[in-house]
Amino acid sequence: MPELRPRGKMVNAMNPLHPSSPFLNRELSLLAFNRRVLHLVEADDTPLLERLRYLCIVSSNMDEFFEIRVAGLMEQIHQGLPSSGPDGLPPALVYEQVAREAHALIEHQYTLLNSLVLPRLAEEGICFHRRGHWNPAQREWTRDYFFREVMPVLTPIGLDTAHPFPRILNKSLNFAVELSGKDAFGRHCANAVVQAPRSLPRFIRLPSDIAGCRDGFVFLSSILHANVGELFQGMTVAGCYQFRVTRNSELFLEEEEAKNLRLILQGELSHRQFGDEVRLEVAENCSESMARFLLDTFGLDEQALYRVNGPVNLVRLMQVADMVDRPDLRFPRFTQSIPKTLEKKASLFPALRRKDVLLHHPFESFAPVVEFVQQAASDPQVLAIKQTVYRAGTDSELIDALIEAARQGKEVTVVVELLARFDEEANINWAAKLEEAGAHVVYGVFGYKTHAKMCMVIRREDGVLHRYVHLGTGNYHSNTTKVYTDFGLFTAHPEITADVNAVFLQITGLGRHAPLRRLFQSPFTLHTELSAAIQREIQVARTGQRAHIIAKMNALTEPGIIGQLYEASQAGVRIDLIVRGVCLLRPGVPGLSERIRVFSIIGRFLEHHRVFYFRHDGAHDVFLSSADWMERNFFRRIEICVPILDAGVKRRILREGLRPYLRDTAQTWEMTGDGQYRKRQRRRGPDFCAHDFLLAQFQKRPE
């Protein structure tokens, strides 16, 4: 790979420590993504309750960032590793830059909360009453609430030789209290800790007659602060400060010890609550002495301390966006459509036998997928159903249908990925219920997450067995299909369905990898086949013909593929990359990537398609996949990539999944060679919004 030599001054705010590297830094790229999400909070055309929701989404993202990425950096520093990733930077330097960027981002987030979101909510009659502004009626009500609902479940712990610092759960709400005086036993106690039980709501709706507004709320932290002296009778409370600790939440399982993955995982999940500390959040007014005491207690340095002007956990405020009955402050509702070929069919199978059917979520409903399994469960001609489950949620009609199919005597095989991060407990529960119903439940291949989205039905028709499959770019989760953009493909193509059957046999059984006819599969052929497709475009470009690659995905981090894209650019291939989140490739750099553009779409829906297009000398090859272009997806997961063989489906994917996004100017950010993102500007006329365009194409808004 050629050395990157920027033209003129090229100060890289995303990777200032190594500006000549052909790769950007993954952690800093993640932080840049969250800054783009925060821009939606500032955007005038984002409805007010949606602004609050995006603010909370950033908090949730940042929690996971610290639990996984920052925790990984700290582990690399501890192990003395020389490099944190493809950019070649030492982990300690990355950690310093990450801390600097994260502090700035979180400070900006709370500034938006206090100076923009909360004041505008108050203008709309949605108020969060701070204790310093309570009127007498509110003060009396909150005091009564404290004695009635809060105090009985609290356990204040004074810190002395007999009362060591309590174990603090990951991301739990706690209060550090500074005290003076003597207790009933004559003991001097300077510090105490009060842990807020998770059963208590973090904000409480005030009765309408004392709220003073249409929707009035108070924070639990405000109620506890106002009444904390009641927990320490006879002593003086010098200070009370909310705090929260974020811990390393990665799970580590040893294959030789994992005789039963489900049992081992059940034991490990409880340890996630008490992993190594990586971040300490405290109230902005926390005293220096208390902050130092907490840092020393948790073994953290000053860089890990985050002072916040507001609740230490903004994620809980997400509920307000749903609780408040103000549809005028949300995105307009829309009705998900259903393809006419599948509408009101007593049986879907004849329609699917005739031709491939594409579903485009969230514009089209997930209901046909659920109905596909429900009909299979009750159809006497169906013999077997096979399904992968990565994330399905805690309430799933689809898995209920699989359970019913097993009870009806069908052969039901479900590959449940127990190690789907932060969905492990839900998947363990589903696995147990499926087994109770008589389904065959397997947990994939140890060391390789099963991330492929596949559902197959085997049906006897006229004495012959036929296979029908659904393949998706997203999870079998009915809630996320309402807000994530994804494609799902129904097909009865003999070669594709035979390949899907082979993958299922490979996962559930033993044996060597057999060549597949149509599908590309990780960890065996996906990387090789995509590399070959890029090389074909390179060869076409070198003959002087048009060559074009368009790829849409969530993340691009794999060095080998990035190197080949650089090579393709230098050969004359036009490359458009639509990468929602992390991207380590540097576009538009002279001599390296001049013909590569990178866009990030951040808007109403979470972009989740994985679509790959290669012009291939006029063949216009299109693929749908469950995989991003990351090392883990290529080499440490079981993924599939399906070629689109139906010409009509191919046209739809180009028309709906790629072209509108390349036109978008309303919600698109374009990446520069130094890793910065600029809001894309329209050349003339009004902004074009891909999401609004697709909604107009598919949906009818209610009057």
Give the sheet arrangement for strand 305-308, strand by strand: 157-158, 191-195, 174-180, 236-247, 277-283, 305-308
| CA 107 to centroid of chain Cα atoms | 22
Strand partners for 640? 521
**d(Cα 395, Cα 21) in Å, to the nearest integer?**
46
Instruction: Give which of 98, 137, 136 is closest to 17, Cα–Cα.
Output: 98
pLDDT at 683: 80
- Whether the pLDDT of residue 490 is over 70: the answer is yes
Letter for the amino acid at 455?
Answer: C
pLDDT tens digits, 165-189: 888 999 999 999 999 887 766 667 7
Instruction: Give which of 513, 565, 568 is closest to 540, Cα–Cα.
Output: 568
Average pLDDT of span 422-439: 88
> According to CATH, where is 1.20.58.310 located in the chain?
26-103
> According to CATH, where is 3.30.870.10 located in the chain?
340-514, 521-698
Half-sphere exposure at residue 175, Cβ-oriented, CA atoms within 13 angstroms: 29
pLDDT band, residue 58 (cuts 50/70/90): very high
pLDDT at 475: 94
pLDDT at 271: 60
User: Among 11-15, 143-147, 285-289, which is the least confidently predicted range?
Assistant: 11-15
Plot region of 685 (φ>0 → left; ψ -120 to 50 → alpha; else → beta): left
pLDDT at 18: 55
Average pLDDT of span 475-492: 96
User: Among 97-106, 180-189, 558-567, which is the least confidently predicted range?
Assistant: 180-189
Q: What is each CA distance from 211 to 132, 134, 204, 214, 611, in whole angstroms?
A: 15, 10, 11, 7, 50
Across the chain, mean pLDDT equals: 91
**d(Cα 26, Cα 42) in Å, to the nearest integer?**
25
- Whether the pLDDT of residue 5 is over 60: the answer is no
Q: Which residues are catalytic?
A: 451
Q: For residue 497, give both structure tokens.
A: 């369905």
Average pLDDT of span 254-266: 54
Average pLDDT of span 498-511: 92
pLDDT at 533: 98
Residues with Cβ within 8 Å of 55's Cβ and at least 6 positions away in sequence, in order, are 38, 41, 109, 112, 113, 117, 314, 317
Residue 472 parent element (H or E): strand 464-472
Average pLDDT of span 195-208: 92
Q: Where does residue 472 rank: exposed (0-12), middle (13-18), buried (19+ CB within 10 A)?
A: buried
pLDDT at 627: 98
- Whether the pLDDT of residue 17 is over 50: the answer is no
Instruction: Give which of 473, 475, 520 is closest to 626, Cα–Cα.
Output: 473
pLDDT at 11: 28
- CATH fold of 26-103: Methane Monooxygenase Hydroxylase; Chain G, domain 1 (1.20.58)
Q: Measured in Å, how far apart are the chain's first and last C-alpha atoms? A: 57
Q: What is each CA distance from 90 to 78, 93, 453, 676, in whole angstroms?
A: 12, 6, 36, 21
pLDDT tens digits, 606-663: 999 999 999 999 999 999 999 999 999 999 999 999 999 999 999 999 999 999 999 9
% of residues, the chain, pLDDT over 90: 79
Residues with Cβ within 8 Å of 510's Cβ and at least 6 positions away in sequence, in order, are none
**d(Cα 400, Cα 404) in Å, to the nearest integer?**
6
> Which CATH number is 521-698 given?
3.30.870.10
Q: What is each CA distance from 389 to 518, 607, 638, in whole angstroms?
A: 22, 21, 12
**d(Cα 37, Cα 56) in Å, to the nearest integer?**
10
- Whether the pLDDT of residue 10 is over 50: the answer is no
Assessment of whether the complete model's pTM goes beyond 0.85: yes
pLDDT band, residue 485 (cuts 50/70/90): very high
pLDDT at 699: 73
- Whether the pLDDT of residue 523 is over 50: the answer is yes
- pLDDT higher at 85 or 526: 526
**d(Cα 318, Cα 13) in Å, to the nearest integer?**
31
User: Among 36-45, 601-610, 673-682, which is the least confidently predicted range?
Assistant: 673-682
pLDDT tens digits, 338-374: 998 898 778 999 999 999 999 999 999 999 999 999 9
- CATH fold of 340-514: Endonuclease; Chain A (3.30.870)
Half-sphere exposure at residue 644, Cβ-oriented, CA atoms within 13 angstroms: 27
- Whether the pLDDT of residue 396 is over 50: the answer is yes
Q: SS3 for 483?
A: coil
Half-sphere exposure at residue 22, Cβ-oriented, CA atoms within 13 angstroms: 19
- CATH fold of 130-250+277-329: polyphosphate kinase like (3.30.1840)
Q: Contact, 483 vs 453, CB < 8 A?
A: no
- Whether the pLDDT of residue 269 is over 80: the answer is no
- pLDDT higher at 85 or 480: 480
Instruction: Give which of 227, 157, 159, 169 is closest to 198, Cα–Cα.
Output: 169
